[in-house]
Structure 1
Amino acid sequence: MPGFLLHLTAPWQAWPAPALFNTRPTMRFPTRSALTGLLGAALGIRRNPATGTADLSELQPLGYTVRIDRPGSQRRDFQTVGGADDQTVPIAEGGTRSGNGTLISERWYLADAAFTVAVRCDDTALTQRCTRALRAPVFPLYLGRRGFVPSYPPLLLATIDDPQEALQQLPLNRHHTPAPLGDDPQDTASVEYILDTDPHDGGPHPTRVKDTPLPGRLFTHRDVWARTRSHPARQCLEPGQDWLDRLDTYFTKKATAS
């Protein structure tokens, strides 16, 4: 199935999971709702002033396969709101909270993570619209929170016949972990994939996640399948090598071979 590739990396990312007010966790991979919102921002899909929500239904046919190049690490941010009699927190009914209005919350983020995403769809007109918009987005693009801007432009490859196959060949944005001293050298790297369709390989059962957007700021569940695949260690970055330099080498060799 045709589509395109995204690469999402930044010092900080946040992919919100179901939460209470005082604890806001992050998923360990980009959610469908966040990826849909990213493309919606690039396309310039605006919120309806009457409802306060955007109609993203035109992006529903898109499918996503996430390759976790670097899982990163989860970090906690301690936050407070309010804290003085004249700075208490507003409430929905109007006015402010009575008494000491200080609220405490924990926000969880991903540090130093990197993901490559295969976006696929039979509607080539839709995928071409998305890739054109990603080259010149209408609204700023960010990775879960407005302050978390991508380290690189998200669009990696546009209009390819099989983006999922390209994930297997594209260099990994990670360094290879050498074998412990005395062990045999490892010539493969284990990489986790998050699939939104059943691979029919007899592997582990899917996990239910609530990240599929519906109209009115609502979400529904979907199944995702986590699978670990082996890549040649040569697809990893060399010591001190930058991701863009690695990509340049890869595409130069590919163009020469063709």
Structure 2
Amino acid sequence: MSVLAFRLYAPLAAWGTGEAGETERPTAGHPGRSHIVGLLAAALGLQRTDEAAQRDLAAGYRFAVAAQGTRQPLRDYRTVQTVEPNRAQRKNGFVSRKHALETGAKVHTMITRRSYLQDGLWRVFAAPKQDGAAPPPDALADALRAPAFELYLGRRDCPPALPPDPVVLPEQEWEAQLAAYPAVPAGLCVRPVPGGLRQLAARLARHPVTLAWEPGFPGAPDPDAAGTSRRQVADQPLSRVLRRFASREEVSRTLANPEAPSREG
């Protein structure tokens, strides 16, 4: 069976977590299952209201993410307005925010603080389940090359700075998988690519790889080996319309970087 691999890179990314509130919008260190499914659904052109297709896509794949680099956090803020209905509106109800404002509702301004990751690069690997009804890896790769909807890394103000560059690979052990799909395409190390991207390639090569995967992902490291951790994350999408998520297990481990420069000589 084959595995789809693609790349996510942007100067800013924000992977929302289940702890997000009204005023605090934190970010995880890598995209979770909900983010990946949402990005693939956007590439395929699936509407949020197409719950059946969304469920098939989410249930048809296991995912793993390889993260590299320092991924420095950045804090920003936005001002937002909330509407407080007046007595008559609370009694009779109001149709929309616009209607509430036009009929005398009070407006309150509040600050929301948002966290981003700078210069993050992630390799995503998607392994289809044998009994899944989702599109095959080849179809997902074609969709990523010409996405139906705009792709972004967590928030609409975080567009990708590199194409996803999808590749369909055979199932293999992780050392071979990472070597077969490097963090930065070879073309980025050759002129006339901007110097910033060449520096990114050199910087990433000096960092180890943090791998996070779902139990059962083919070729994944031993989940019981030393240095491996497990945690529960609430990013299993149940309904895109209602924005409901379930908890799942995630396994993670730090691996040697096959692109690291040799110390010999």
| TM-score of the aligned structures, taking structure 2 as reference length | 0.72
Q: Which secondary structure does the structure 1 equivalent of 2:10 belong to?
A: strand
**In the alignment, what sits opposite 2:79?**
80
Q: Which secondary structure does the structure 2 equivalent of 1:208 belong to?
A: strand
Q: Which secondary structure does the structure 2 equivalent of 1:211 belong to?
A: strand
| Structure 2 counterpart of 1:142, one-letter code | Y
**In the alignment, what sits opposite 2:208?**
190
| Structure 1 counterpart of 2:224, one-letter code | D
Matches within 5 A, 1:98-247: 101-122=108-129, 126-158=136-168, 160-162=169-171, 164=174, 165-173=176-184, 174=200, 189-197=207-215, 199-203=222-226, 204-215=228-239, 216-232=242-258, 234=260
Give the deviation of 1:112 after TM superposition: 0.8
Give the deviation of 1:147 after TM superposition: 2.1
Describe the shift of the 1:90–1:140 C-alpha distance in structure 2 as closer, same or farther (beyond 3 A): farther
Mean CA deviation greater in 5-14 or 164-173: 164-173
Q: Is the 8 A contact 2:179 2:258 kept in 1?
A: no
Give the deviation of 1:81 after TM superposition: 1.7
The number of aligned residues is 219
**In the alignment, what sits opposite 1:182?**
none
**In the alignment, what sits opposite 1:251?**
none
| Partner Cα distance (2:223, 2:164) in 1 | 30
Q: Which secondary structure does the structure 1 equivalent of 2:126 belong to?
A: strand
| Structure 2 counterpart of 1:127, one-letter code | P
| Partner Cα distance (2:138, 2:83) in 1 | 45
Describe the shift of the 1:222–1:234 C-alpha distance in structure 2 as closer, same or farther (beyond 3 A): same
CA RMSD of aligned residues (A): 3.0
| Structure 1 counterpart of 2:12, one-letter code | W
Q: Is the 8 A contact 1:172 1:235 kept in 2?
A: no
- Give deviations 1:112-166, integer Å, cap 9, x for gaps: 11011111114595222211211211111111112211111113313x2127442
| Partner Cα distance (1:222, 1:111) in 2 | 27
**In the alignment, what sits opposite 1:180?**
none
**Percent same amino acid among aligned pairs?**
30
Q: Is the 8 A contact 1:11 1:113 kept in 2?
A: yes
| Partner Cα distance (1:121, 1:27) in 2 | 25
1:7 maps onto 2:7 in alignment: yes
Describe the shift of the 1:232–1:161 C-alpha distance in structure 2 as closer, same or farther (beyond 3 A): closer
Q: Is the 8 A contact 1:66 1:115 kept in 2?
A: yes
Describe the shift of the 1:235–1:197 C-alpha distance in structure 2 as closer, same or farther (beyond 3 A): farther
| Partner Cα distance (1:175, 1:128) in 2 | 27
Q: Which secondary structure does the structure 1 equivalent of 2:108 belong to?
A: coil
**In the alignment, what sits opposite 1:42?**
43
Q: Which secondary structure does the structure 2 equivalent of 1:133 belong to?
A: helix
Q: Is the 8 A contact 2:4 2:141 kept in 1?
A: yes
| Structure 1 counterpart of 2:177, one-letter code | A
Q: Which secondary structure does the structure 2 equivalent of 1:56 belong to?
A: helix
Structure 2: tracts of 5 or more residues without a match? 95-99, 185-199, 217-221
Give the deviation of 1:190 after TM superposition: 2.3
Describe the shift of the 1:231–1:169 C-alpha distance in structure 2 as closer, same or farther (beyond 3 A): farther
| Structure 2 counterpart of 1:217, one-letter code | R
Structure 1: tracts of 5 or more residues without a match? 83-87, 178-186, 237-258
